[in-house]
């Protein structure tokens, strides 16, 4: 009987230690997870830009697509997705909404499957109107994050674009 009590006590303590280790790991993930922290920071930063662009009924995600279209002239969806690291469904959903608002128009494509698009005059005007609000938001975000963080972010984005993600 004594051996059973000792074995049960050892087993119970093992479960207690496993539970303590699990709680420690949960606490570690909750306090240190880079993905969670970046996603939270992304939401905060996005809200700053979206608040600044709201009077124009524009979101920063849409503005990025307008900018891509302005830079590319005729924007092929696959190129925009690659440049902005978007999935096709996200881009097509946004492009449909932006076409409905008259900001983008489809350019007849050679193959009929990919639907290249470009800015309309209304889209270009909206982009021009948005620049001052975007600039204010940009300064607000830079001030909040600090110059060192912004410079490190710029370097990291360059590495990601080169394909050097460390994996």
Q: Model's pTM, two decimal places?
A: 0.78
Give the range among 46-60, 109-123, 135-149 with minimum mean pLDDT. 109-123
Predicted pLDDT of residue 125: 97
Both tokens assigned to 96: 């449909």
Query: How many whole angstroms separate alpha carbon 91 and alpha carbon 71?
Result: 16
Q: What is the pLDDT of residues 83-140, one digit of tens each?
A: 898 999 999 999 999 999 999 999 986 666 678 999 999 999 999 999 999 999 999 9
Q: What is the pLDDT of residues 7-45, one digit of tens each?
A: 555 565 666 667 778 888 888 888 888 999 999 999 999
106's enclosing H/E stretch is: strand 104-106
Query: How many whole angstroms separate alpha carbon 76 and alpha carbon 106?
Result: 10
- Provide the CB-side half-sphere exposure for 104 (13 A, CA): 31
């Amino acid at each position: 009987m004594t051996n059973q009590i000792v074995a049960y006590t050892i087993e119970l303590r093992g479960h207690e230690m496993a539970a303590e280790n699990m709680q420690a790991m949960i606490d570690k993930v909750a306090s240190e997870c880079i993905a969670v922290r970046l996603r939270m920071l992304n939401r905060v930063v996005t809200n700053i830009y979206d608040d600044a662009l709201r009077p124009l009924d524009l979101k920063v995600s849409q503005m990025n697509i307008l900018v891509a279209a302005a830079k590319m002239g005729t924007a092929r969806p696959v190129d925009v997705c690659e440049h902005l690291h978007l999935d096709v469904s996200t881009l097509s959903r946004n492009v449909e909404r932006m076409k409905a608002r008259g900001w983008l128009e489809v350019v007849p494509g050679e193959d009929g499957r990919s639907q290249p698009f470009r800015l309309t005059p209304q889209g270009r005007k909206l982009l021009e109107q948005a620049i001052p609000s975007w600039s204010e938001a940009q300064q607000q975000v830079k001030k909040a994050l600090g110059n060192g963080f912004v410079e490190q972010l710029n370097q990291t984005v360059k590495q990601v674009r080169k394909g050097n993600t460390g994996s």
